[in-house]
Amino acid sequence: MEPGEPREPREPGPGAETAAAPHWEEAKTFYDNLAPQKKPKSPKPQNAVTIAVSSRALFRMDEEQRIYTEQGVEEYVRYQLEHENEPFSPGPAFPFVKALEAVNRRLRELYPESEDLFDIVLVTNNHAQVGVRLINSINHYDLFIERFCMTGGNSPICYLKAYHTNLYLSADAEKVQEAIDEGIAAATIFSPSRDVAVSQSQLRVAFDGDAVLFSDESERIVKAHGLDRFFEHEKAHENKPLAQGPLKGFLEALGRLQKKFYSKGLRLECPIRTYLVTARSAASSGARALKTLRSWGLETDEALFLAGAPKGPLLEKIRPHIFFDDQMFHVAGAQEMGTVAAHVPYGVAQTSRRTSPTKQAPPAQ
């Protein structure tokens, strides 16, 4: 070959093509991992079990609340804007929401096309500008919350029915009472006094019976006539179902989702477990509670009759993500043992509470 004469292209060797292929596969995998992962679609509200959660239930906003109370709404909004890239710390409802999402993942694996899922809605009367920090916090913790309701100072309660809400959780007792009065299952959620590890793979929900799952009919008899008359009444009416309480519908929704796992032969591995934790005595008044649930076509996985004993120590063993009760001393007892407890303001036990002065509600709900 003369100098300067162009070289003829050489044929690739027999192993050249196969040697290059792995490098292309590695590059493809690398760039696929960089691409944003597709999130699942939100179910239609009418098909889902909708849980509405306030911003102060989902996140801790103690400092923000202090600024609002002491310095007013303008300073509060300014502070939120200045700190919008700082995620909030998890609040009392955070483990519950994470457990709901774990159940959704299992349901999507078993029923890819079904919309019978939990749908979480963030409900707050914050100004819309504060929403950026909330969105950043949700993305920081990789929560799947697509629906927001930010009402700019107005009460969000009027929107709950439009969202087909099955349960509303808030740190604001006045808004919870407003929701209960509108016939919406609701509870005021409280942080535990200490952190206790809860299951990452199984949603655990514990309910009191009277004035939570059931009406307050029996509690009224205790208040008016004492325990002996109550026992007589329950024995005489053992086969008459109690009227439903404010959270009966939520237990019903949990049961519907449980059956989707049962139908796949997964009763023992079901990622939802429910508990009845009641001060009733099993022998004298327990049968009516169980027969009432049966008459509704419902059940709880466990039924614990404490005959007046404190609930806190038992809840410490159960480690539920949330416990619902209508009486604050049971809520306080649960808190002391590290349980996230929620107060249901319904029934005769609330009479004295509703006649006492209430503190002005903050705007961060």
- Per residue in 233-255, pLDDT (tens digit) is 888 888 999 999 999 999 999 99
* Residue 38 domain-assigned (yes or no): no
Q: For helices 73-82 and 131-140, give the axis angle rounded to 10 degrees.
A: 40
Over range 325-350, report the average pLDDT.
94
184 within 8 A of 165, measured Cβ to Cβ: yes
The H or E element spanning position 230 is helix 227-236
The predicted structure's pLDDT at residue 235: 87
Over range 193-202, report the average pLDDT.
93
The predicted structure's pLDDT at residue 38: 60
334 within 8 A of 311, measured Cβ to Cβ: yes
- Higher model confidence: residue 38 or residue 51? 51
Identify whether residues 121 and 215 lie together within a single domain.
no
* Residue 193 domain-assigned (yes or no): no
* Residue 352 domain-assigned (yes or no): no
Identify whether residues 182 and 211 lie together within a single domain.
no
The predicted structure's pLDDT at residue 28: 44
Identify whether residues 164 and 245 lie together within a single domain.
no
Identify whether residues 179 and 207 lie together within a single domain.
no
Over range 189-206, report the average pLDDT.
95
* Residue 65 domain-assigned (yes or no): yes
| Domain CATH number, residue 133 | 3.40.50.1000
The predicted structure's pLDDT at residue 54: 96
Identify whether residues 102 and 233 lie together within a single domain.
no
Identify whether residues 126 and 213 lie together within a single domain.
no
Q: Rounded to whole angstroms, how far apart are CA atoms 187 and 92?
A: 12
* Residue 1 domain-assigned (yes or no): no
Identify whether residues 245 and 328 lie together within a single domain.
yes
The predicted structure's pLDDT at residue 118: 97
Identify whether residues 123 and 213 lie together within a single domain.
no
Over range 245-267, report the average pLDDT.
97
Identify whether residues 298 and 328 lie together within a single domain.
yes
Quick check: is 208 catalytic? yes
Q: Which of 63-67, 151-155, 252-256 has the lowest mean pLDDT?
A: 151-155
Identify whether residues 272 and 178 lie together within a single domain.
no
What are the tokens at 163? 């969202």
| Catalytic residue of the set 119, 208, 216, 325 | 208
Residue 334 has pLDDT above 80, yes or no: yes
Interval 276-312: pLDDT, tens: 999 998 888 889 999 999 999 999 999 999 998 999 9
Instruction: Provide the pLDDT confidence category of residue 338 given band limits of 50, 70 and 90.
Output: very high
167 within 8 A of 51, measured Cβ to Cβ: yes
pTM, entire model: 0.84
Please give the mean pLDDT across all residues of the chain: 86
311 within 8 A of 325, measured Cβ to Cβ: yes
Report how far Cα 162 is from the mean position of its chain's Cα atoms: 19
**Distance, first Cα to last Cα, the chain:** 84
Range of the domain at 66: 43-188
The H or E element spanning position 86 is none
How many structural domains is the chain composed of? 2
Q: Which residues pair with 203 in a beta bridge?
A: 272
* Residue 50 domain-assigned (yes or no): yes
* Residue 170 domain-assigned (yes or no): yes
* Residue 234 domain-assigned (yes or no): yes
Considering 135, 156, 188, which residue would you say is the last residue of a domain? 188
